[in-house]
Amino acid sequence: MNNKHLIRAIISLVSLLLLGSEVAKAERPPKILNPYRIIVKYKSTPSTQSMSLQNKVTNVSHQAGIQVDTSKPMANGAFVVAFDKMAVNSMSMNNDISPKELMERTLKKLQNDPNVLYAIHDDILSTNYNHKDQWDELAAPRGVQVEGENGAWNETMGDPSIVVAVVDTGIAHNDDLTENRLPGYSFVYGSVDPTDEGYETGYHGTHVAGTVAANGKLIGMAPHSKILPVQVLGDNGNGYTSDVINGVYWAAGFDVPGAPRNRNPAHVVNLSLGGNRACSAAWKEAIDAVLYNGTTIVVAAGNEDNNVVTSSPANCPGVISVAATNRHAHRSYYSNYGTRVTIAAPGGEIRWLSSRGILSTVKDGYAYYQGTSMAAPHVSGIIALMLSVNPYLTPAQIKEIIVSTASEFPADKPGYTCVGDYSCGAGIIFATGAVQGAMEYIGYQKK
């Protein structure tokens, strides 16, 4: 072979290798989710303790009269059963009812079983998203006031020992996140690689993570603290409740069947996601366990311009539920509200001008987004600042400080105000006051 042909062969080989890498990268399409799944937990009795997972799944299948497609264990003894979609549709047609009604009847059968502690829908949850440019970091009340002469950063910019878990779509590459990113896990793909490929997610988790602790061209709330990526939502931005609950357990340091142990348990868990349902027994159980373990849970209130009682897990007792405000410190037009909201934070509005949104990281770049998803990580990042000056604070103390030091809402815009029937919690989170409040608690030692 002469040199000319050799060069052509090398070029062809390199082209094939490059093409192969692109094909391999594209082989993971958006995951199609199964809506016919339930979460079950049996009571702890001598008879149930001796049952294997397979026996429990078989019992569920017999009670439902529906073929099971897959099953898997969850943390804390619960398990997930996914019914075969064709079997559900066929049985629904035979009984002249909708698949939704069939699943409701199945749940009632299981809930009436005296051996069952709880049985709930494994709901499909979704992302909540509908230095001078970071208006959300500037002076109160429109911003949270981490920057400036009287900003919280004068006391601390975070501490590497404090970990915030971003339980979301995973995190894509961005140089501003590299320094603070810890090894995570994907409950969507059962992998130690929680990378957000961004097919339909808009790099949601990456944007959330940047607001928490980016440290580069863009600066997050706690740029010296760490981010733990936990992927529970797939490439289309949706995911199962069971994966989210497992992700919360794992983030807080609990053992989860099939997942490696988390070597960096989180002090704060950020959930910028939700679904339309009352707070379930499974969520209450998980939240109680994680709070008791000392981990604070922050949840986006939702973007339906509705009362938060319809949005889970933001409506669950014990969490810090976060509404969104705009550059005028009014309630963002989309934000949920109600007495179950704990606090508000900047979530932005981009319907008229993109720069009125929240600027944060996406894959190898930046973007303005809006949503309570963008508000929640402000609170999570500020909690990281609080724990950086006082790591002894409990979740209840953190919540108390945030509520008692919040900036007041303006009451000059009917319809989108955060007062009266449209309550957005105690006020807009005030970073300076929250950090000072943390320092005043017993156990504070300035670092």
3-class SS of residue 10: helix
Task: Kindly name the residue from 123, 168, 196, 235 that is annotated as catalytic.
Answer: 168
- Which two structure tokens, joined as six digits, stand for 212? 């928490």
Concerning whether 288 is annotated as a catalytic residue, the answer is no
Average pLDDT rounded to a whole number, residues 219-225:
95
Rg (alpha carbons) of the chain, rounded to whole number: 23
Is the pLDDT assigned to residue 234 strictly greater than 60? yes
Concerning whether 404 is annotated as a catalytic residue, the answer is no
Q: How far apart are CA 187 and CA 366, in angstroms?
A: 26
pLDDT at 24: 30
With bands split at pLDDT 50, 70 and 90, how would you rate the model's confidence at 320? very high
pLDDT at 31: 61
* Bridge partners for 359 per DSSP: 368
Task: Kindly name the residue from 373, 380, 388, 407 that is annotated as catalytic.
Answer: 373
Q: Which of 371, 346, 374, 372 is nearest to 360 (CA)?
A: 374
With bands split at pLDDT 50, 70 and 90, how would you rate the model's confidence at 131? very low
Is the pLDDT assigned to residue 183 strictly greater than 70? yes
pLDDT at 136: 62
Q: How far apart are CA 379 and CA 381, in angstroms?
A: 5
Q: How far apart are CA 420 and CA 409, in angstroms?
A: 11
Instruction: Give the chain's domains with CATH numbers.
Output: 37-122 (3.30.70.260), 125-440 (3.40.50.200)
Q: Which of 312, 372, 368 is nearest to 336 (CA)?
A: 372
User: Is the link from the previous residue into 30 a cis peptide, with omega within 30 of 0?
Assistant: no
pLDDT at 316: 97
For residue range 27-84, list pLDDT tens digits in order.
344 467 888 999 999 999 988 888 999 999 999 999 999 999 999 999 989 999 999 9
Is residue 248 a contact partner of residue 271, using CB atoms and an 8 Å limit?
yes
Q: How far apart are CA 257 and CA 11, in angstroms?
A: 47
**At a CB cut-off of 8 Å and minimum separation 6, what does 293 contact?**
252, 253, 254
What's this model's pTM, rounded to 2 decimal places?
0.84
pLDDT at 10: 36
Concerning whether 168 is annotated as a catalytic residue, the answer is yes
- Which two structure tokens, joined as six digits, stand for 163? 């970990």
Instruction: Please give the mean pLDDT across all residues of the chain.
Output: 86
Task: Kindly name the residue from 121, 122, 204, 335 that is annotated as catalytic.
Answer: 204
For residue range 379-433, list pLDDT tens digits in order.
999 999 999 999 999 999 999 999 999 998 886 655 567 777 778 999 999 999 9
Q: Which of 272, 274, 266 is nearest to 296 (CA)?
A: 266
Q: How far apart are CA 315 and CA 325, in angstroms?
A: 19
Residue type, 199: Y
